[in-house]
Structure 1
Amino acid sequence: MRISKPITLFTKDLSFYHSLLKSCVHGDNSSSPITIFRDLLRSSLRPNHFTMSILLQASSTSIGSLKLVQTHLKKSGIDRFVYVKTSLLDLYLKMGFVATAGKLFDEMPERDTVAWNAMICGYSRNGYERDAWHLFIVMLRQGFLPSATTLANLLPFCGQCGFVSQGRSVHCIASKSGLEVDSQVKNALISFYSKCAELDSAEVLFTEMRDKSTVSWNTMIGAYSQSGLQEEAIIVFKNMFERSVEISPVTVINLLSAHVSHEPLHSLVVKTGMVNDNSVITSLVCAYSRCGCLDSAERLYASAAQDSIVGLTSIVSSYAEKGDMDIVIAYFSKMRHLCMRIDAVALVGILHGCTNSSHIEIGTSLHGYAIQSGLCTQTLVVNGLITMYSKFDDIETVLFLFETLHETPLISWNSVISGCVQSGRASTAFEIFHQMSLSDGHVLPDAITIASLLAGCSQLSCLHLGKTLHGYILRNSFGNEKFVCTALIDMYAKCGNAELSERVFNTIDAPCTATWNSMISGYSLSGLQSRALSCYLEMREQGSKPDKITFLGVLSACTHGGLVDEGRVYFREMIKEFGISPSLQHYALMVGLLGRACLFSEAVNLIWEMDMKADSAVWGALLSACIVNREVEMGEYVAKKMFMLDYRNGGLYVLMSNLYATEEMWDDVSRVRRMMKDNGYDGYLGVSQTL
């Protein structure tokens, strides 16, 4: 007779619960680790240190549940195990409870290398890089060795803050400990050296790597991109492609940031199936917007699966730069409708589109939004508002906004100084500069500050002050900046010293177009027309391409010198050879040149042939020529045209009064003056009497 064995029920032991918790770690179990742990506590089993270690690895729950686990650890005495406490503080750090983790770390009677590394990495991940660095130094002093992850977490901080010597120290530690061969560390070192403008070191490290992963290639492409080396970034990408290394979204984003042609990259994105990656699409939208292909940018944005504040900001900023404020406001409304939080960068991009007095209402509305949303507390936004109000010539509001700043970095001082100069308030600009030199923060001027102040000297025709600034430029090596030299040339010219302008100009090895323009305009202002034209010809010989500003200086020289034939040649050259469409200023100069030469029919024909409507400046140039040549009949015709454009222009009445006075037509002079009085221009009467 066969005796059967008794049937035993399946018993849940610790290994069973360990298996369940491990499955949570690997994502194979949808149950909550805390629920499993509570089930374990309800049984007769007692969790051990191994149980708690796995539980902490599996947990990512609320602070309340985590505190429950910590309490149990204390009661059971399991928290005496270093690796259990390390798991607990690591979990706190991953959940962002840095202060709690720090307190727990300080209370640990014993710490091993893992605990130190976990705390340093946690600080770094949560934005406490300085704390991470200080703890790293303490760790080394106490004889503990860092891990590869620790070093990789510290290096980005060194790169961002420009701590070159500290980063090199980390490199030395990596070399001595043998961690330099770790790909994670090597990638971090490449990124660090590129951020510190030491690309040679980054290249050496990259070349030494035997097994280059996608991350390694992306890091090197990113290094070249950050340094603006487009060709080098493309070469690395081609090598990566030839070796059949997998291309990731980061690869495309890095190449786009290097301003590599976006159309081939767009094709690559489609071929590799990255069209569903929101970050890639956003980067492409930004690239299309940046080059002015707004139709393509908008279509691509519409095809994206998700709305992106970055993509929309790029499109809006491009429209603002073009001055299409109606479209900008429509997009702004769309962003609000989508409940997007418009950040400081987006708002400043929109503010840049408010360039003239016709945008005052839009600008003040945006200012109101900045106040309502709290963005007005950010220095970036206040600087944007200062620049906008400067364009409106509202210096009182500019000064008020400046006073509201809690911190006044150099960029804010520069914004106010530049704004005052642009609005014709150079004296106020120098007062602000004096305040800056006395400020508690000891803010030192940079090249932009000096260039703005030089423009202020030009405005005040203050040669002595300009020479003082020139001395400051030489003492502080700002002379290497071409735009500072250009401002110096302009200042000396406008203060009537062409010789000093020439001296500064001759110190520049390869003058840019703006520098040539300043020299040409300077000669023209000083009455040296032949030198201005010679300078233009020399510019052409040197291979520099003239622009609109160049021809304003050239035509101005022709007008002041009465060089009609030369003026015709250069005006035609501007249009035919260089494809530059004349602005109203160019037309005003040509009309003035022809009128002063008594070529009134040609001047009027030129006005009628213009692609745009002539403004008061164009007609005013012709009226001034009529006064010089005593052409009363033509002058009356021009005056009527100007009156139709703007009857409130007080200068028009002054010019007409002077025209009649040259011909001793006193009755007409009296009539014009009565008109001035009737229209409220009494203040101009004194002006007309002195002319």
Structure 2
Amino acid sequence: MSITKPITLLSRDLSFFHSLLKSRIHGENSSSPITIFRDLLRSSLIPNHFTISILLQASTPSSSPHHASVDSLKLVQTHLTKSGLDRFVYVKTSLLDLYLKMGFVNTARVLFDEMPERDTVAWNALISGYSRNGYERDAWQLFISMLQQGFLPSATTLVNLLPFCGQCGFVSQGRSVHGIAAKSGLEMDSQVKNALISFYSKCTELDSAELLFTEMKDKSTVSWNTMIGAYSQSGLQEEAFTVFKNMFGERVEISSVTIINLLSAHVSQEPLHCLVVKTGMVNDNSVITSLICAYSRNGYLDSAERLYASATEDSIVGLTSIVSSYAEKGDMDTVVLYFSKMRQLCMRIDAVALLGILHGCTNSSHIDVGMSLHGYAIKSGLCTQTLVVNGLITMYSKFDDVETVLFLFEQLHEAPLISWNSVISGCVQSGRASTAFEVFHQMKLSGGPMPDAITIASLLAGCSQLCCLNFGKKLHGYTLRNSLENEKFVCTALIDMYAKCGNVVLAESVFKSVKAPCTATWNSMISGYSLSGLQSRALSCYLEMREQGLKPDRITFLGVLSACTHGGLVEEGKICFREMVNEFGISPSLQHYALMVGLLGRACLYTEALSLIWEMDLKPDSAVWGALLSACIVNREVELGEYVAKKMFMLDYRNGGLYVLMSNLYAAGEMWDDVVRVRKMMKDHGYDGYLGVSQT
């Protein structure tokens, strides 16, 4: 039996400590690298430059879960100075790089400034570290200083610079980097070329990206993925798929990034899923998560849930995608179940996940769920994030709870423009336009941000509510001074405002100034003509819209049918209704049916009106029956009116407006005893307040 002699502190040599540090790099040792280094110093051994190099590698965040403190790193720096090892530029550069990876930017800069000798690698480490820690402009200034001091950039320098040029809109700087790359011959480096392709795609200069990609002789998987990603970011699905087919034809290895980029381009998930199975990427969690998101986004929730259940790891991103899709559909019961599951799995629900769920709280029936989510946001600390507060403001606006909206807004320490817009829009949507105007004036008085197109559009909607033509004109002037008239949704809001404030001439003027009106803009003009009693112009506008090749939607036909109803254009209304259903495949809503019933009823076509009601796919509501009852009042059709009133009574016997309509029906037929009887019923049921609004 052999007895292994224990290794004493004195019997340890440098190679032993080197082995410990290397095992730390490979994840085979849980000890802190700094602890190992301290043990080495206690053993009276003298570390060499190789020791320090391994130590610094082992201390990087990717290698060590025990992030080194700045004091621990200064211990290493002090030893380097005392031992003279700091004369090796690469050793000091490694320390510099480690400071930057730990986020100690200022300390790293001091160390760099103290270096007696620097090489391109040291400059690269500092430039990369500044960029990585969010100091992009400083990184660019460092690059200029590097060139001024006579250092030639390497491929690594340019690859570190180009990403932030694309992200921060430094287009001219990025082009300068391209010029330097071409002049120095670094443009031929595949990494530089890939970075340039990515830069140009982020700056929406796809022609330049395509040219660089075409010129590449040896395209790697990264090159193909970069080009697919460029098209994906620009929403060019067909182009992204064409590059992928060429990549497949060239037999280039397909990676997980390839699949993720294609899914980002909204390429059909089913064939990509098959490819994932075929290529053995089913265990790649990033790919599976992307597939789950794609299935959820396209409404295939059963497939998304089955795929999630088969995944080897729980994914907060995948589960958030499923929950957000259910929330978007309004299925809040399922949302609550999944939310509970996420909590049971101890998943940290972030701001994005919570926001996706909050969007599903669309009406007062969801108020309990919404308030529970609000409670979770407070408990988890997410209420401190502006993104979540804006989501809560939007949710409470849908509940018409303006007081809570204003309370949440007041709790914000700093209110960015998006928060002001959320409050203003929420107040308008809740029918509190005057409050929205007060918030806007507060924004101006407090020196808040300048209003943008969204602010103006919301305020214009408020002007439409209150018929504030003068304020609307001032907002119109602001849009012209600030070149916001190019935003079509602003022009649409202007047209709507002028029409609802009774100035169809100015509405028409704005409409004519729009170069290529979208469907929403046409809809506003059609509705504007209808509101102004210009029914023939509304129909002409609809026909012109059709000639321009635009496809009408539900709102278009509401405007057209409203014009036909108010103008008594029966045949035109019938034609438009048939076109909506048969030609465009739009299922009529209750509003569409109410307009058609009103149109037929006012033309005394009662049989057609009743046939339409009986043939409805939807259950007729009080608005549909009310349209027919109003027609009976106008035409003094008492017998049918009584039948319709009974139908309405069965739907909602507590509707005080029904008694008013019945009173008006009997008054139109000069049946005064019945008028007195109905008015007595109103008093008995506590609806005498409606008597002042009855019409004869």
Do both proteins adopt the same fold according to a TM-score greater than 0.5, normalized to the shorter chain? yes
Contact 1:402 1:412 in 2 (8 A): yes
Q: Which residue of 1 aligns with 2:220?
A: 213
User: How far off is 1:667 after superposition?
Assistant: 4.1
Give runs of aligned pairs for residues 129-278 of structure 1, distance below 5 A: 129-278=136-285
| Gap change, CA 1:181 and 1:455, over 3 Å in 2 | same
CA deviation vs aligned residue, 1:88-109 (integer Å, no higher than 9, x gap): 2323434555455445445545
The CA distance in 2 between the partners of 1:29 and 1:602, in whole Å, is: 83
Of the candidates 638, 661, 665, which is equivalent to residue 667 of structure 2?
A: 661
The CA distance in 2 between the partners of 1:140 and 1:521, in whole Å, is: 63
AA at the equivalent of 2:456: I
Give runs of aligned pairs for residues 96-115 of structure 1, distance below 5 A: 96-98=103-105, 100-115=107-122
| Gap change, CA 1:423 and 1:464, over 3 Å in 2 | same
Contact 1:14 1:47 in 2 (8 A): no
Contact 1:20 1:29 in 2 (8 A): no
User: How far off is 1:478 after superposition?
Assistant: 2.7
AA at the equivalent of 1:365: S
Contact 2:327 2:360 in 1 (8 A): yes
The answer on 1:535 being equivalent to 2:535 is no
AA at the equivalent of 2:459: L
Q: Which residue of 1 aligns with 2:476?
A: 470
The CA distance in 2 between the partners of 1:358 and 1:290, in whole Å, is: 25
The CA distance in 1 between the partners of 2:593 and 2:420, in whole Å, is: 37
User: What TM-score, normalized to structure 2?
Assistant: 0.89
Q: Which residue of 1 aligns with 2:494?
A: 488
The CA distance in 2 between the partners of 1:126 and 1:545, in whole Å, is: 49
**Percent of residue pairs bearing the same amino acid type:** 84
Q: Which residue of 2 aligns with 1:56?
A: 56
AA at the equivalent of 2:159: A
Contact 1:18 1:54 in 2 (8 A): no
User: How far off is 1:505 after superposition?
Assistant: 3.0
Q: Which residue of 2 aligns with 1:635?
A: 641
Of the candidates 586, 605, 609, which is equivalent to residue 603 of structure 1?
A: 609
Q: Which residue of 2 aligns with 1:455?
A: 461
Cα RMSD for the two superposed structures: 3.1
User: How far off is 1:490 after superposition?
Assistant: 2.2
How many residues in Structure 1 have an aligned counterpart in Structure 2? 679
Of the candidates 370, 373, 388, which is equivalent to residue 366 of structure 1?
A: 373
The CA distance in 1 between the partners of 2:559 and 2:655, in whole Å, is: 27
Q: Which residue of 2 aligns with 1:649?
A: 655
| Gap change, CA 1:491 and 1:46, over 3 Å in 2 | closer
| Gap change, CA 1:451 and 1:31, over 3 Å in 2 | closer
The CA distance in 1 between the partners of 2:27 and 2:290, in whole Å, is: 35
Shifted more, 350-359 versus 562-571: the winner is 562-571
Of the candidates 385, 393, 413, which is equivalent to residue 406 of structure 1?
A: 413
| Gap change, CA 1:56 and 1:498, over 3 Å in 2 | closer
Contact 2:24 2:30 in 1 (8 A): no
User: How far off is 1:110 after superposition?
Assistant: 4.4
AA at the equivalent of 1:535: C
The CA distance in 1 between the partners of 2:691 and 2:28, in whole Å, is: 92
| Gap change, CA 1:440 and 1:142, over 3 Å in 2 | farther
The CA distance in 1 between the partners of 2:426 and 2:27, in whole Å, is: 62
The CA distance in 2 between the partners of 1:541 and 1:208, in whole Å, is: 44
AA at the equivalent of 1:639: A
User: How far off is 1:406 after superposition?
Assistant: 2.3
AA at the equivalent of 1:114: V
| Gap change, CA 1:508 and 1:74, over 3 Å in 2 | closer
User: How far off is 1:584 after superposition?
Assistant: 0.7
| Gap change, CA 1:75 and 1:603, over 3 Å in 2 | same
Give runs of aligned pairs for residues 119-134 of structure 1, distance below 5 A: 119-134=126-141
| Gap change, CA 1:46 and 1:428, over 3 Å in 2 | closer
CA deviation vs aligned residue, 1:566-617 (integer Å, no higher than 9, x gap): 3333323322232221111111112212222233343233323322222121
AA at the equivalent of 1:430: F
The CA distance in 1 between the partners of 2:49 and 2:585, in whole Å, is: 80
The CA distance in 2 between the partners of 1:235 and 1:677, in whole Å, is: 74
| Gap change, CA 1:626 and 1:207, over 3 Å in 2 | same
Of the candidates 541, 552, 555, which is equivalent to residue 546 of structure 1?
A: 552
Contact 2:23 2:29 in 1 (8 A): yes
CA deviation vs aligned residue, 1:489-529 (integer Å, no higher than 9, x gap): 22232233333333333334443322222222222222222
The CA distance in 1 between the partners of 2:484 and 2:40, in whole Å, is: 73
Of the candidates 589, 599, 602, which is equivalent to residue 593 of structure 1?
A: 599
Q: Which residue of 2 aligns with 1:5?
A: none
Give runs of aligned pairs for residues 556-635 of structure 1, distance below 5 A: 556-635=562-641
| Gap change, CA 1:85 and 1:457, over 3 Å in 2 | same
The CA distance in 1 between the partners of 2:225 and 2:375, in whole Å, is: 43
| Gap change, CA 1:573 and 1:52, over 3 Å in 2 | closer
CA deviation vs aligned residue, 1:271-322 (integer Å, no higher than 9, x gap): 2211211111111121122222222222222222111111122222222222
Of the candidates 299, 304, 309, which is equivalent to residue 311 of structure 2?
A: 304
User: How far off is 1:250 after superposition?
Assistant: 0.9
User: How far off is 1:407 after superposition?
Assistant: 2.5
CA deviation vs aligned residue, 1:56-75 (integer Å, no higher than 9, x gap): 34555543775654454344
AA at the equivalent of 1:438: L
Contact 1:221 1:236 in 2 (8 A): yes
User: How far off is 1:539 after superposition?
Assistant: 2.6
Q: Which residue of 2 aligns with 1:357?
A: 364
Give runs of aligned pairs for residues 332-351 of structure 1, distance below 5 A: 332-351=339-358
| Gap change, CA 1:537 and 1:117, over 3 Å in 2 | closer
Q: Which residue of 1 aligns with 2:5?
A: none
Q: Which residue of 1 aligns with 2:325?
A: 318
The CA distance in 2 between the partners of 1:120 and 1:521, in whole Å, is: 58
The CA distance in 2 between the partners of 1:548 and 1:377, in whole Å, is: 40
User: How far off is 1:136 after superposition?
Assistant: 3.6
Shifted more, 334-343 versus 418-427: the winner is 418-427
The CA distance in 2 between the partners of 1:204 and 1:491, in whole Å, is: 48
| Gap change, CA 1:24 and 1:67, over 3 Å in 2 | farther
User: How far off is 1:20 after superposition?
Assistant: 4.8
Contact 1:21 1:55 in 2 (8 A): no
Contact 1:21 1:58 in 2 (8 A): no
Q: Which residue of 1 aligns with 2:505?
A: 499
AA at the equivalent of 2:555: I
The CA distance in 2 between the partners of 1:217 and 1:73, in whole Å, is: 44
AA at the equivalent of 1:586: H
The CA distance in 2 between the partners of 1:258 and 1:526, in whole Å, is: 45
User: How far off is 1:50 after superposition?
Assistant: 4.1
Give runs of aligned pairs for residues 39-118 of structure 1, distance below 5 A: 46-60=46-60, 61=64, 62=66, 63=68, 69-98=76-105, 100-118=107-125
User: How far off is 1:666 after superposition?
Assistant: 4.1
Of the candidates 426, 441, 462, which is equivalent to residue 419 of structure 1?
A: 426
Unmatched segments (≥5 aa) in structure 2: 1-9
User: How far off is 1:120 after superposition?
Assistant: 2.6
AA at the equivalent of 1:467: K
Contact 1:657 1:668 in 2 (8 A): yes
| Gap change, CA 1:474 and 1:99, over 3 Å in 2 | closer
User: How far off is 1:482 after superposition?
Assistant: 2.5
Contact 2:198 2:226 in 1 (8 A): yes
User: How far off is 1:28 after superposition?
Assistant: 11
| Gap change, CA 1:378 and 1:15, over 3 Å in 2 | closer
Contact 2:327 2:356 in 1 (8 A): yes
Shifted more, 428-437 versus 67-76: the winner is 67-76
* Secondary structure of the structure 2 residue equivalent to 1:420: helix
Of the candidates 376, 382, 390, which is equivalent to residue 383 of structure 1?
A: 390
